Amino acid sequence: MSKTVEQIIQALLLLIFQIVILNNIQLFGMIAPFLYILTIITLPIKMPRGYIMLYACILGGTMDIFTHSYGLHLAATALVAYIRPYIMQLFATRENMEKLEPSYKNFGLAFYKYALGIVIIHHFCLFMIEAFSFKYIGVVILKTL
């Protein structure tokens, strides 16, 4: 099976798991796990940015359809897909950037820094658009963390 087909199957399974199970979990009324962005985090490094943006928009749009969130997930995933190479350059070394895909095996501890950066940006964007006001910045930061 080709790597592309594996990634599509992984994305579909994570999306189904997110929609069916994880969207129904609310810890303390604030914590909602968003595992679906793992597929964007682990996309191949050399994949063209246009494909990554299209992939992220489809992924975020699908989440929006099933969560009735009217573009929140699409905006957050599109932002993350766009800035992904820059975040990767912040944490990965030149040798790591020559690998095929980001993973702990290829990046070491830098992978967790990269993934955490992506997750924080995604969540902050998602919750900031949801609040749509700087009046609630404290709640947005609390939800992000």
Q: How high is the mean pLDDT of the chain?
A: 83
Tell me the three state secondary structure of residue 101. coil
Per-residue pLDDT at 54: 92
| Prediction pTM value | 0.85
Most confident by average pLDDT, 4-8, 79-83, 98-102: 79-83
Per-residue pLDDT at 30: 65
Question: Which of 6-10, 53-57, 70-74 has the least mean pLDDT?
Answer: 6-10
The identity of residue 103, as a single letter, is S
Question: Which of 28-42, 72-86, 127-141 has the least mean pLDDT?
Answer: 127-141
The string over 117-145, giving b where at least 16 C-beta atoms fall within 10 Å of a residue's C-beta and e elsewhere, is bbbebbbbbbbbbeeeeeeeeeebeebbe
Tell me the three state secondary structure of residue 78. helix
Per-residue pLDDT at 33: 80
Q: What is the mean pLDDT of residues 59-82?
A: 90
Per-residue pLDDT at 102: 77
Q: Does residue 144 surpass a pLDDT of 80?
A: no
Per-residue pLDDT at 75: 93
